[in-house]
Amino acid sequence: MLSSRLIAVISFFLALTLVRGFEGTIGVNYGTVANNLPPPAQVAHFLLESTVINRVRLFDANPEILRAFAHTGVAVTISVPNDQIPDLTKLNFAQQWVEDYIQPHTPATNIVRILVGNEVISTANKLLIVSLVPAMETLQTVLVAASLDRRIQVSTPHSLGILSNSSPPSTGKFRQGYDTHVIKPLLSFLRDSNSPFMVNPYPFFDCSPDTLDYALFRPNAGVFDENTRVFYTNMLDAQLDAVFSAMKLLGFDDLEIVIAETGWPSMGDATQFGVDAKSAAEYNGNLMRHVTSGVGTPLMPNRTFETYIFALFNEDLKPGPTCERYFGLFRPDMTPVYDIGILRPTVAAAANIEHATCLLVITVGLLIIKNHG
């Protein structure tokens, strides 16, 4: 029988291993729609030294922010604004864009991905939609010519509004018209360029008082998919599998899916339910554990998902209802809104980790000697 002390040490060590497991697959969306945020250099230093986050998604290609992340190793994703997509279909414009926003910063800044627009199909803007794939292709051509295509991927994030059906997940299907004329060519481009399909699933916006537990990964009655005989215990899995089913219908179930945005606000209007720091901590904490666990989803088992939490900071100038300004993991003074294990341990805690690891090795060694000696 293992001693209670050994069990405690092993449990402690495993818990620390799980926290460390967040690193590398969990990123944040670094939005800047605020007038009280710290300087980018301070933010980059904070993320590098004080958190386990080593991936950042930007909603633009702000040179000051890109310079701030130089020599940090943080994987940076930058974005082309929606209104520039039609221009990006022109080779000269794409070349100039790369010269202005990529080449001055790489390889010092670890730019790993360029997102062409955000939720473009959901805008219903015909010019943007028909320009999307040609813009991505032109940008990829420029990256290839500059020998940057192996370092930098090109993709674009989608809202779940691209689906005409999502329930049950096995019946997931892209909107008619967009499926063959836009999404299928897009998926072909992503496959050819070894880039992921990126989505913005938000259980927060799709849940009701009756499905709040389902959205927050709490114990719940779940949802049964009659077609696959699969039982869903959380809404995120159902959303991701609906996207997977839609991709499979078009013959692209081999592509990686990346969660470009997801999150939960810590404050909202009085009429909203489940909007508080406790719920936000539950969602984001459970999210991190789930996507890094390797369990996957019912239709995509045994995999992890690169995931970007929205957002790094509360952003006081964002329009819309109150909750839009309170999705941040941190306040502008860089104190956490709630604790979900993103902050690195202190030096003292780090020393405790080393001590616990050594103790574990020594204890296991003594047990082996005792049992075989």
Q: Residue by residue, what is the 3-state secondary structure of 28-57?
A: EEECCCCCCCCCHHHHHHHHHHHECCCEEE
Contact status, residue 169 vs residue 242, Cβ threshold 8 Å:
yes
Q: Which residue has the higher pLDDT, 17 or 236?
A: 236
- From the candidates 261, 282, 306, 315, which is the catalytic residue? 261
Sheet of strand 157-159: strand arrangement: 153-155, 111-116, 75-80, 55-58, 26-30, 307-309, 257-262, 197-200, 157-159
State whether residue 228 is helix, strand or coil: coil
Domain annotation covers residue 63: no
Domain annotation covers residue 27: yes
Domain annotation covers residue 107: no
Domain annotation covers residue 136: no
Backbone angles phi, psi at 343, to 5 degrees: -70, 140
Enclosing H/E stretch for 286:
helix 277-292
Whether the per-residue pLDDT at 96 is higher than 50: the answer is yes
Domain annotation covers residue 170: yes
Q: What's the rounded Cα separation, in Å, for the pair 329 and 345?
A: 17
Domain that holds residue 216: 22-57+156-362
Across 136-246, where does the E strand assignment appear?
Answer: 153-155, 157-159, 163-165, 173-174, 197-200, 223-225, 230-232
| CA angle at 118 for the pair 116 and 119, rounded to the nearest 5° | 125
Q: Does residue 306 have an active-site annotation?
A: no
The residue-averaged pLDDT of 211-232 equals 97
Whether the per-residue pLDDT at 19 is higher than 60: the answer is no
- From the candidates 49, 64, 99, 119, which is the catalytic residue? 119
Q: What's the rounded Cα separation, in Å, for the pair 328 and 264?
A: 9
Q: What's the rounded Cα separation, in Å, for the pair 335 and 55?
A: 19
Q: For residue 170, give every residue at least 6 positions away whose Cβ sits within 8 Å of its Cβ, in sequence order, or none.
A: 225, 227, 228, 230, 241, 245, 299
Across 81-166, where does the E strand assignment appear?
Answer: 111-116, 153-155, 157-159, 163-165
Domain annotation covers residue 148: no
Q: Is the pTM of this model over 0.75?
A: yes
Q: Does residue 261 have an active-site annotation?
A: yes
Whether the per-residue pLDDT at 320 is higher than 60: the answer is yes
The pLDDT value recorded for residue 359 is 54
Whether the per-residue pLDDT at 191 is higher than 50: the answer is yes
The residue-averaged pLDDT of 276-302 equals 97
Q: What residue has token string 């839609």? A: 246
Across 126-201, where does the E strand assignment appear?
Answer: 153-155, 157-159, 163-165, 173-174, 197-200
Whether the per-residue pLDDT at 127 is higher than 50: the answer is yes
Domain annotation covers residue 373: no
Q: Which amino acid is at 358?
A: C
Long-range CB contact pairs, 331-338, < 8 A, 24+: 332/34, 332/36, 332/37, 332/38, 333/38, 334/38, 334/42, 334/43, 334/46, 334/50, 337/266, 337/277, 337/280, 338/266, 338/277, 338/278, 338/280, 338/281
The residue-averaged pLDDT of 193-213 equals 97
Q: Which two tokens stand for residue 278?
A: 């406790």
The pLDDT value recorded for residue 6 is 47
DSSP state of 356: H
DSSP state of 293: S
Domain annotation covers residue 290: yes
CATH number for 185: 3.20.20.80
Contact status, residue 100 vs residue 93, Cβ threshold 8 Å:
no
Average pLDDT, the chain: 90
pLDDT tens by residue, 132-173: 999 999 999 999 999 999 999 999 999 999 999 999 999 999
Q: What's the rounded Cα separation, in Å, for the pair 250 and 245?
A: 9
Whether the per-residue pLDDT at 347 is higher than 50: the answer is no
The total of structural domains in the chain comes to 1
- Which of 166, 226, 225, 230 is closest to 199 using CA atoms? 166
Q: What's the rounded Cα separation, in Å, for the pair 27 and 22?
A: 9
Of the ranges 69-73, 291-295, 367-371, which one carries the lowest mean pLDDT score?
Answer: 367-371
The pLDDT value recorded for residue 372 is 58
